Amino acid sequence: MLTLETKIENVPNIGAIYQKKLKKLGIKTVWDLLFYFPARYEDFSNIITINKITAGDTVCVQGRVLYVESTTSFKKGISITEAEIEDDTGTVKAMWFNQPFIARSLKEDDFVCLAGKATAGKVASVNNYDGPRQDLYLNNPVFEKLSEIEENNNLTHTGRIIPVYSETRGLTSKWLRYIIKPLLEYFFDKIPEILPEEILAKHKFLPIKEAIWQIHFPDSFEAIDASKARFSFENLFLLQLNILQQRAKLMQKTSPNCPMDADLMKKFTESLPFQLTDSQRQCAFTILKDLEKSAPMSRLLEGDVGSGKTVVATMATLSAIKNGYQVAFMAPTEILASQHFKGIIKMLENFDVKIGYLTGKESFIYKNGKIEEIKKKNLLLDLEFGQIDLLIGTHALISKGVTFSKLALVALDEQHRFGVNQRAELTKNKTLIPHLLSMTATPIPRTLALTVYGDLDLSLIKEMPKNRKKIKTIIVDPKERKSAYDFIHKEVKNGRGVFVICPKIGEDENEKNQAPIAGSFTPQNYQIGLLGVTEIKTVKQEYEKLSKDIFPDLRVTMLYGKMKTEEKQRVMLDFKKGEIDILVSTSVVEVGVDVPRATVMMIEGAERFGLAQLHQFRGRVGRSDMQSYCFLFTTDPSQLNRKRLKALVDCDNGFELAQKDLEIRGPGQLYGAVQSGLPDVAMEGMSNIFLVEKTRASAKELLEKDVNLLQYPLLKERLKEFKQKIHFE
């Protein structure tokens, strides 16, 4: 007996070959198959008579088969199947290419319904039927047999609005319709309704059995919209339940309370070589007040590139330390971790703080005004016995053997999906869990902030330091490349530094001339898939060209992620000191790298990156009072690319750019629907702020009444399954 949990291996008419193809699409059970929703629809519902067919139209007709025959083209070896169909008003030919099996499926005198594009032109002649020759034919039409008295609403592939699914090789929409329709009929009254009755009534949603039927085999486009509205709400509602339930459980735990010392904070801000902006002060105050509470802080600090998030985090760090606790400060790369180590030492050098540094390869300690190398085991012993106040590093901070004695705060840079499990790892065997402060220079549109990051409170640094000049961003036409090089040469001769960013390290023969791969919204991958790219600049090629052909008199060096840590650090230090003129790099410099003398950011293959990442690159310059420039070199003239790059030229505000990126690419591209586990219908819903707020309000209302969903067992079970599938990392 079939159930919704039945594996596809046990579903009739699905053989081993199709099982593999379905699993490629993530379909493993009957439930997965029924909830594999169409990507789009074809409207074949308007059945016309043959005499009304017009060339260029997609039409649907019904009639009797006069003949059908398959031949093979002598010159090209292409199989051509031709049939002639008759109704009361005339006849039309249908032609299929490389589908000889159709001649075995269709027989003379069969009644059929056909849907396809009408094409004008010469057609092959099969002389078994002595009828009038026509130059209008249906090109590769979809067809299905029917009896003369069959009602059109029983049709599956023609004569109605038909679903078109995302396909994989050898797995067609027609086959999926053939499999899904009988399963829908069988399970029509067996699919459990998980939405509470009060929510269905309040929002006038279709019951699940009607919604799932109408989304696959709709009676109208209005029915499709109603079904999508229900499933968009359902998926975002589950997402919000998951987020808010996690938050509610977290709020039941206890964290160290760290009262704010106003005099200490005043002393710290006065020791800085610059003044805090009003926005920095407001964010710092909010965070410091959160640290005073015994409920765990979970806060995301958003600020544009160069807005001064690290200073705010350092204030929170100092407050926790002076209350007798420890702090963990984690960065995504060794370069950025090293930069934080040196930068925070400078800010805290007058406050008697012992600071450790740990990556997979290195360990240092700062105390008594000196940085010293230390064995990892000795560093970890000092940490465990409370002799280190602040530990800065990469993911090595949550590796085996790292034990804090009294951890109060975890600060994360560009790692905002640091989860409950990682937080627990830092405090295993401890009764108190640390506060969490996450920072990002990748602004998040409000709709996505309320869903993907809905478990975090948001603080926004909206201002930039007063002495910063707007970076001039220029799209460089290929014929203007020499002028750009001349300008760069002058900047270097004036003592400035230049970044050159390329999409790849080295060229793989198998990847030449390939279109890029669509990407997701993570610090590691912002690429967008676009056709038409014929060249991918690589670091090694660009280094060779610039150092030998373009700037032979300048000091050009490479930097990429696979280099040894000490080599990367040496290159960055030399660049910072002015001993390197031009640094050719991959996206390893994307996040946080601070080189005030650099005034030019030159990006090769700019179309290969998303707006958020381009904005991050641009933020590596303009970090002093000198005028800075960002040159965007592109080989792809497509309108979409131009639209995206033009948005970067027109706008220097990361929050506006994030919204534009969402509008241009959609949330599915930004966050990666496949990677997240969320269906397309939910990703589309993320663009709708009203829907997002509605689902959040409904989830909050339900959890306030029943945080463990004991009164809603079906919803609780569905939420459990949902949690296993989604992952925004």
SS3 assignment for 165-209 = CCCECCECHHHHHHHHHHHHHHHCCCCCCCCCHHHHHHHCCCCHH
* Across 414-427, average pLDDT: 63
- pLDDT per position as a tens digit, 515-569: 332 222 332 222 222 222 334 468 888 899 999 999 999 999 998 877 887 788 8
Q: Which of 704, 664, 662 is nearest to 687 (CA)?
A: 662
Largest distance between two CA atoms of the chain: 103
Phi, psi of 520 (to 5 degrees): -120, 165
Structure confidence at residue 150 (pLDDT) = 56
d(Cα 631, Cα 24) in Å, to the nearest integer?
A: 41
Whether 15 has a pLDDT exceeding 70, the answer reads yes
Dig out the tokens for 235 from the structure. Answer: 């998926």
d(Cα 616, Cα 523) in Å, to the nearest integer?
A: 10
Highest averaged pLDDT of the listed ranges 205-219, 525-539, 565-579? 205-219
Structure confidence at residue 306 (pLDDT) = 76
DSSP 8-class letter at 361: S
Residue 648: C-alpha distances to residues 117, 522, 609, 631, 643 (Å): 41, 19, 12, 11, 9
- pLDDT per position as a tens digit, 654-713: 777 777 776 666 554 444 433 445 666 666 666 677 888 899 999 999 999 999 999 999
User: Is there a common fold for 262-292+308-440 and 472-651?
Assistant: yes
Structure confidence at residue 22 (pLDDT) = 92
Between helices 639-650 and 611-618, what is the axis angle to 10°?
A: 40
Residue 270: C-alpha distances to residues 273, 274, 276, 285, 350 (Å): 8, 8, 10, 16, 12
- Between strands 556-559 and 298-303, the pairing is unpaired
- pLDDT per position as a tens digit, 237-275: 998 998 898 888 888 889 999 999 999 999 999 999 889
Q: Which of 219, 239, 215, 220 is nearest to 39 (CA)?
A: 215
Residues 6+ apart with CB under 8 A from 634: 475, 476, 605, 606, 607, 641, 645
Q: What is the CA radius of gyration of the chain?
A: 31
Domain boundaries, the chain: 46-159, 262-292+308-440, 472-651
Whether 421 has a pLDDT exceeding 70, the answer reads no
Structure confidence at residue 606 (pLDDT) = 87
pLDDT category, 422, cuts 50, 70, 90?
A: low
Q: Which of 152, 225, 143, 156 is nearest to 184 (CA)?
A: 156
Taking residue 655's Cβ as centre, other Cβ atoms within 10 Å add up to: 17
Q: Which fold has domain 262-292+308-440?
A: Rossmann fold (3.40.50)
Task: Tell me how long the chain is.
Answer: 729
Which residue has 């699940």 as its token pair?
Answer: 208
Residues 6+ apart with CB under 8 A from 203: 233, 694
Q: How much is the mean pLDDT over the chain?
A: 83
d(Cα 408, Cα 349) in Å, to the nearest integer?
A: 21
Q: Which fold has domain 46-159?
A: OB fold (Dihydrolipoamide Acetyltransferase, E2P) (2.40.50)
Instruction: Give the distance from CA 465 to its chain's centroid.
Output: 30
Q: Which fold has domain 472-651?
A: Rossmann fold (3.40.50)
- pLDDT per position as a tens digit, 28-41: 999 999 999 998 99
